[in-house]
């Protein structure tokens, strides 16, 4: 069994030395969230992740952030720290709407 | 039940034709649009401000959306809720806003926003282009579901979005929040394909690092 381990280790070392470094890998990780990776990219990524813990964290965390962005709207009703329409803007918009809908109703009445 | 179903009632004793006439009249005459501001104003504002980050632009978009809604009221079928319908109109106004500001201030070629993300990696040596030791992503020791449920996590996420360079944040918002595809974003923001990828990557690197510093390390 030890020979299998040795071969595996040698293979990993070789892979580590000849495959692209983290800087390239994080680009592939980012791309994986936006498009389908090529076969080569997937292979390179897999080999790299087997040996590099920071990149594994990077992958998980960028997936988490993508998720957080996608689910943001579900929390808009309750997450009040996002702010609210200021009283001044509220009044202004109401006045503009009143003026505009009056005009619109008039237009319909004329037609 | 959608709320608007209760805004008119169909009397079972009335002949059917009368009831149908009543429905069509209600669809043409706008309901009091100022009520939209009270009912949905805050929600629409938040929807816009998390994408645009700027209060004034968000208010403008809400105003434009509600104005368009008055003119489009006859197209509102009541199949979706009033809020969903208004949000749909607001989405278009937000994309228009991005399109306009991209036209007014195009992204400078070779500017920092579109340059390669180098600063996180070792400049030379045996580990050239691997993570710098002080900037390596660390284990956050939390499941994604738990993190997203935390108010603190979401609040920090919004603050971190606010710290991204303006155009980088715009690309991220259109991709990850509006869910537009690459081609559409490049068209709206007048970006080349390769600039899109760099900016998206910049946004993720910056956000992740910001979350690590301001959420994970402080938790």
Residues of A in contact with B204 (CB under 8 A): 30, 33, 62, 65
- Of A31-45, B1-15, B49-63, minimum mean pLDDT range: B1-15
Spatial distance between the Cα atoms of B43 and B87, rounded to a whole number of angstroms: 9
- Between B11 and B129, where is the model more confident? B129
Q: How far apart are the first and last CA of chain B?
A: 41
Mean predicted confidence (pLDDT) in B15-33: 50
pLDDT level of residue A98 (50, 70, 90 thresholds): confident
pLDDT level of residue A108 (50, 70, 90 thresholds): low
Pick from A67, A72, A84: which is nearest to B42 by CB?
Answer: A84
Spatial distance between the Cα atoms of B166 and B52, rounded to a whole number of angstroms: 9
Residue A111 has pLDDT above 50, yes or no: yes
Residue A69 has pLDDT above 60, yes or no: yes
> B182 vs A35: CB contact, 8 Å cut-off?
yes
Residues of A in contact with B208 (CB under 8 A): 58, 61-62, 65
**SS3 state at A85:** coil
Residue B23 has pLDDT above 50, yes or no: no
Cα-Cα-Cα-Cα torsion A4, A7, A9, A13, nearest 10 degrees, comes to: -170
- Of A43-57, A66-80, B41-55, B64-78, minimum mean pLDDT range: B64-78
- Of A67-81, B9-23, B180-194, B196-210, minimum mean pLDDT range: B9-23
Pick from A22, A76, A84: which is nearest to B121 by CB?
Answer: A22
pTM: 0.80
Residues of A in contact with B50 (CB under 8 A): 72, 76, 82
Residue B12 has pLDDT above 60, yes or no: no
Within an 8 Å CB–CB cutoff, is residue B164 touching chain A? no
> B70 vs A100: CB contact, 8 Å cut-off?
yes
> A70 vs B177: CB contact, 8 Å cut-off?
yes
Percent of chain B with pLDDT over 90: 45
pLDDT of residue B13: 53
> A84 vs B45: CB contact, 8 Å cut-off?
yes
Express each pLDDT in B151-203 by its tens digit.
899 999 999 999 999 889 999 999 999 999 999 999 999 999 989 999 999 99
Within an 8 Å CB–CB cutoff, is residue B42 touching chain A? yes
Spatial distance between the Cα atoms of B159 and B186, rounded to a whole number of angstroms: 26
Q: Which of A83, A108, A8, A67 is nearest to B42 (CA)?
A: A83
Express each pLDDT in B105-148 by its tens digit.
887 777 777 777 888 999 888 888 889 989 999 999 988 888 88
């Amino acid at each position: 069994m030890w020979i299998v381990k040795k071969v595996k280790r040698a293979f990993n070392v070789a892979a580590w030395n000849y495959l692209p470094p983290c800087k390239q890998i994080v680009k592939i990780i980012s791309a994986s969230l936006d498009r389908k990776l090529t076969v080569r990219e997937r292979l390179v990524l897999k080999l790299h992740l087997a040996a590099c813990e920071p990149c594994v964290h990077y992958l998980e965390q960028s997936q988490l952030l993508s998720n957080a962005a996608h689910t943001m709207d579900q929390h808009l009703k309750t997450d009040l720290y996002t702010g609210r329409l200021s009283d001044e803007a509220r009044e202004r918009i109401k006045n503009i709407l009143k003026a505009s809908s009056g005009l619109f109703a008039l237009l319909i009445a004329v037609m | 039940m959608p709320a608007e179903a209760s805004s008119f009632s169909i009397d079972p004793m009335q002949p059917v034709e009368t009831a149908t006439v009543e429905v069509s009249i209600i669809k043409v005459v706008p309901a009091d649009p100022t009520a939209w501001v009270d009912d949905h104003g805050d929600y629409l504002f938040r929807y816009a401000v998390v994408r645009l980050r700027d209060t004034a632009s968000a208010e403008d978009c809400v105003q434009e959306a509600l104005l368009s809604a008055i003119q489009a009221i006859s197209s509102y079928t009541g199949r979706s809720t009033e809020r969903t319908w208004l949000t749909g109109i607001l989405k278009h106004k937000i994309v228009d806003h991005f399109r306009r500001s991209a036209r007014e201030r195009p992204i400078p070629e070779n500017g920092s926003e579109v340059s390669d993300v180098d600063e996180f990696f070792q400049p030379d040596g045996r580990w050239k282009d691997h993570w710098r030791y002080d900037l390596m992503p660390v284990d956050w020791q939390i499941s994604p579901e738990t993190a997203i449920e935390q108010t603190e996590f979401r609040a920090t996420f919004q603050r971190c979005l606010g710290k991204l360079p303006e155009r980088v944040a715009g690309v991220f918002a259109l991709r990850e929040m509006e869910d537009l595809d690459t081609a559409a974003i490049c068209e709206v923001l007048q970006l080349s394909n390769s600039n899109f990828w760099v900016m998206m990557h910049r946004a993720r690197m910056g956000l992740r690092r910001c979350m690590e510093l301001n959420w994970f390390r402080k938790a």
